[in-house]
Structure 1
């Protein structure tokens, strides 16, 4: 985490408000996606060092717990990935992340990160998926220029028996800029925490199960995804998703030991639909949008921070 602004509970009220603006400007984006990796937030600064600098880096993903709510109609059968090693799939991942924040009655600020479109070729191994990236695009001209060298970069997911992602692997092309590396890292974290795992029990159409997962970061979150199998045609599944995130503590630890904020209000929910083919490693289509509003209070002043957030992850073949 690259944050150089320090905070003190003894700062005057006006000065502390300015500190909050600067700290949050560099620390907000990775936290608000709900995709922290325990390493802290990151910025798009060229001096930052995202994952996978000149080597492959593997980051463990917190384990998931699946719980059956309703097994659905007969006939029922277990849902398991059925692809063989060497199965290839071409798919495009699209991510967007919008965030606005306001401190007290000051003008609001937009800290949104540019959307990304990431075409990739997936190839399966016995317990993992290897990804080779194509030409990554974005509507932001500065980031678009930084992304010109990422084609051919590698990434990957390690998988559990029920399809849960257990680790994220990142290996950008050696000449990829840190700005581009950071953008790719954030996009893949969004995808990881919007993925789904199957239940252990046999299910049929109409089945509902929950997937619980810890999401680490400045605020530790309990994320519960409710999945409903609305349609099955052979190995092709249509699954509706509902997501809810709940803080596991009452405070947000600011980056770089800059203090804490009390959580006054936290609402983060989402929904979407994905189509999965059990014979292919990645979703063939669908999207999920998660958004909400949060309010935080500085316990050492009258400063109140409000955020409005929305993220979207989409898959297309």
Structure 2
């Protein structure tokens, strides 16, 4: 039993080698919603293709503790009246890794490890915000239209360096509310980028956008804690809960601790063998656990965090007909802001 390829349940991973363009295009056509391509104001910016919009499901935000002291309604103030708004420049470092093992049931450790082997991409980005135009295609109306343009990226896996470099100028558009909720994402690749380069950028930017900082719509103070429940869609859908805790508020600057928890949205997986004569088998999710650590600094006058890092590893344990063995998958991700390198061990 369980003699299939070591990657036979790789479909539970977020897309690593499969681009997201097809899924996004399909959704955009079904909603008849497409955003214009994002572009930098610099004349030397690479030409990008027409962007395609991806609707974002509304998360559930729940206040667990309103905090103490002077409470206030936190919301972004990054829209300026100036014709040429000042752009934010920051380095986004995104790390991802995946490991899968088949082990004896008695030897399984249900606790997710603190990190793992990862590939890290460093994206120097320029971000700016303008007032969002009204769209009748959105369930929740966006008030902010954020444009993020990627500069010259670098990546720790040198075999992917050429593809990563071809995606310089990749544009990400984020329509969002004042509280930080994303309503629509759009992606526009440079016309000269390679297909692997586009997929690499899509994959990593989706990891980045999977952690939006959404503030509650009620007043909170230092010590406040709230959860944001959402679906993270890749090759399979994960249910994700991000818990934020305010550690400091100074003017428009807010510091938060961040905790991430993920679990599969389905309880079982049907697998088939490499040969047609092999019977199918069902693997059942027996346990899932996430280890995470993180803190971020936010300037409410800027669209992106100014510094900080959030890292998490989710372990999912599967069991099949052979009760003596277990399939263990560990997916590690990290997103940090600033010039510092990723702190996850390589």
> TM-score normalised by the shorter chain: which range applies?
0.7 to 0.9
Which residue of structure 1 lines up, in the alignment, with residue 127 of structure 2? Answer: 122
Select the residue among 186, 192, 200 that pairs with 1:169: 186
Distance 2:150 2:259 in 1: 29
- Equivalent residues in 2 for 1:265-304, closer than 5 Å: 265-299=287-321, 304=326
**Aligned equivalent of 2:140:** none
- Residues 1:93 and 2:92 aligned together: yes
Q: Do 1:206 and 1:228's aligned partners in 2 also have CA atoms closer than 8 Å?
A: yes
Aligned residues, how many?
Answer: 282
Q: Which residue of structure 1 lines up, in the alignment, with residue 38 of structure 2?
A: none
Give 1:168 deviation, angstroms: 2.0
The SS at the match of 1:190 is helix
- Using the alignment, how far apart are the partners of 2:73 and 2:227 within structure 1? 16
CA-based RMSD of the aligned residues comes to 2.8
Alpha carbons 1:132, 1:155 under 8 Å: kept:
yes
3-state DSSP of counterpart to 1:17: coil
Change (3 A) 1:215 1:231: same
Structure 2 portions without partners, runs of 5+: 26-47, 105-115, 132-143, 273-279, 340-346
Q: Is the 8 A contact 2:99 2:330 kept in 1?
A: yes
Q: How does 1:204-223 map to 2 (within 5 A)?
A: 204-217=221-234, 219-223=236-240
Give secondary structure in 2 for the equivalent of 1:282.
Answer: coil
Mark the CA change 1:172 to 1:96 in structure 2 (over 3 Å): closer, same or farther.
Answer: same
Please state whether the residue corresponding to 2:198 is helix, strand or coil: helix
Q: Which residue of 2 aligns with 1:33?
A: none
Give the match for residue 6 of structure 2.
21
Residues 121-180 of structure 1: per-residue CA shift (max 9 Å, x gap)? 001121221011100100211210112222222112111231112222111101111111
Does residue 195 (structure 1) correspond to residue 180 (structure 2)? The answer is no
Paired with 2:102 and 2:128, the residues of 1 have a C-alpha distance of 46
1:1-317 paired onto structure 2 within 5 Å: 13=1, 17-18=3-4, 20-24=5-9, 27=11, 29-30=13-14, 41=15, 43=17, 54-85=49-80, 86-104=85-103, 114-126=119-131, 127-217=144-234, 219-252=236-269, 260-299=282-321, 304-316=326-338
SS at match of 1:92: strand
TM-score normalised by the chain length of structure 1: 0.79
* Residue-by-residue CA offset, 1:51-104 (whole Å, 9 max, x unaligned): 689431221222112111222122111000011243410011111112211135
Cα deviation code 1:211-270 (max 9, x no counterpart): 111233555433221111110111011011111123343114669xx8752112211242
User: What is the TM-score when the length of structure 2 is the normalising length?
Assistant: 0.73
User: Where does structure 1 lack aligned partners over 5 or more consecutive residues?
Assistant: 1-12, 31-40, 106-110
- Report the secondary structure of 2:57's partner residue: coil
What is the CA-CA distance between 1:308 and the residue it aligns to?
2.4
Deviations 1:22-79 (A, max 9, x none): 4445x3541xxxxxxxxxx45269xx96868943122122211211122212211100
Whole-angstrom CA distance in 1 between matches of 2:282 and 2:213: 32
